[in-house]
Structure 1
Amino acid sequence: MRGDNLRMVGKLAVIAGLMFGFGYGLVPMYRHICAALGINVLSLTERQATAYNAGSSGKVNTQVDTTRTITVEFDANARGPWDFKPAVRSMQVHPGEMSTVMYEFRNIQQREMAAQAIPSYAPKQATAYFNKLECFCFNEYKLQPGEAKNWPVVFVIDPKLPKDVTTITLSYTFFEVPGKDKSAAAEAGAGEPRS
């Protein structure tokens, strides 16, 4: 009986060792599979991707089309009395390359403002190829009087963008969300006694 227990403990130790080795080997296996298939490279920083590609037998990120350069122009429109503008007016990017542009906001009103931005693209056919990974347009924001914010737009242009498109304009319209101040005023009025 004692011999059976020792054999079982030995088998379990071998299985635990194999599981640990497999778990330890998953990270390099995952990197090699992703590099071979050209996926998940967007999560790497440019320096990490360069270092990783240099160490992977000369393979390069096939998602970035370095033979093409797209000019991305940034436009900002405000529907209300506040400042809203991109930090830069344009940038040159390669399709498949992750890029970031900052937008600056300032509420110049003397009251809190609830607002949201809506994007549009030109030419219209570029809409399907302009992928935003992070954008202030995904949410509604409240800005206090005089409050200033800087928000990023992180984007990638799909390498499948038609070859005849060399310039894309990303335009945002920043507008006040209606009814927010009225509901706040109604809630404040509801708590007051009537005469």
Structure 2
Amino acid sequence: MSQQPEQIPPGHDRPTDHRAKQRSLWSLVLMAVVMFGFAFALVPLYDVFCDITGINGKTANTPASQSREVDRGREVTVEFVAYINPGMDWIFEPQVTRVVVNPGQIQTIKYAARNLTANSSVGQAVPSVSPGQAARYFNKIECFCFNHQPLEAGGSAELPLVFYIDPELPEEINTLTLAYTLYNAQPESTAQTQ
């Protein structure tokens, strides 16, 4: 006698189909949680990766110790540029655009800043170095970028930068560029009440 396939009424699933759907649902929920966690961790992971490799041009945000040796047999050209974020009504520029230094030699330059608005304002300069792999060899002993820079309406300031290039800078790098971008660092509530 032949066995007939089990008849399942329309709209009803087999118990194994229900378990398979439930497993798929939980797998999708788990994947969503893992993807959210990965996306949340990307920024710190990227920062760590860039700190290790130096490929994004970020420099340290803390003062470096002074160099112990100067390589008098080598010269490196350091160029300085400045950018102002849109909406920041300041003049911001280096007082010199290029210096030639020996690696390990401590050098001081200044940037000039002037607030062109009728209100006090606070700026924050964010540095980057190119080529990116040179960033880990650019050491700032003193830098205006370590702190916010408040300026009164129409006020101006000279902003010092004291730096040296690490003598371990790879031989193929003879020129590097330090670029600062100036951002408005004043809290919105303070800016609106003035």
TM score, norm. by length of structure 1: 0.62
Aligned partners of 1:85, 1:184: CA distance in 2, in Å?
24
Number of the residue aligned with 1:147? 155
2:180 to 158, 162, 172: 172
Q: Deviations over 1:57-115 (max 9, x none)?
A: xxxxx710011100000000112221000000100000010001100000001111111
Percent pairwise identity: 41
Q: What code does the residue aligned with 1:89 have?
A: T
SS in 2 for 1:163: coil
CA drift of 1:42 comes to 4.6
1:104 equivalent to 2:124? Answer: no
Gaps of 5+ in 2: 1-64
CA drift of 1:141 comes to 1.9
Number of the residue aligned with 1:84? 92
Q: Deviations over 1:107-156 (max 9, x none)?
A: 00111111100000000000000000000000012111100000110001
Q: What code does the residue aligned with 1:88 have?
A: V
Matches within 5 A, 1:33-182: 42=66, 63-79=69-85, 80-178=88-186, 180-182=187-189
Between the two structures, name the one with larger relative contact order (CA 8 Å, sep ≥ 6): 2
Q: Structure 2 vs 1, CA of residues 108 and 185 (structure 1 numbering), >3 Å: closer, same or farther? A: closer
Gaps of 5+ in 1: 1-40, 44-61, 189-195
Larger Rg: 2
Aligned partners of 1:160, 1:184: CA distance in 2, in Å?
44
TM score, norm. by length of structure 2: 0.62
Q: What number of residue pairs does the alignment pair up? A: 128
Aligned partners of 1:147, 1:138: CA distance in 2, in Å?
20
Find runs of 4+ consecutive structure 1 residues off by over 3 angstroms.
183-186
Number of the residue aligned with 2:55? none
Q: What code does the residue aligned with 1:78 have?
A: I
Number of the residue aligned with 1:37? none
Q: What code does the residue aligned with 1:167 have?
A: T
Q: Which structure has greater helix proportion?
A: 1
Q: Structure 2 vs 1, CA of residues 135 and 94 (structure 1 numbering), >3 Å: closer, same or farther? A: same
Q: What code does the residue aligned with 2:117 have?
A: Q
Q: What code does the residue aligned with 1:168 have?
A: L
Aligned partners of 2:93, 2:168: CA distance in 1, in Å?
29
SS in 2 for 1:182: helix
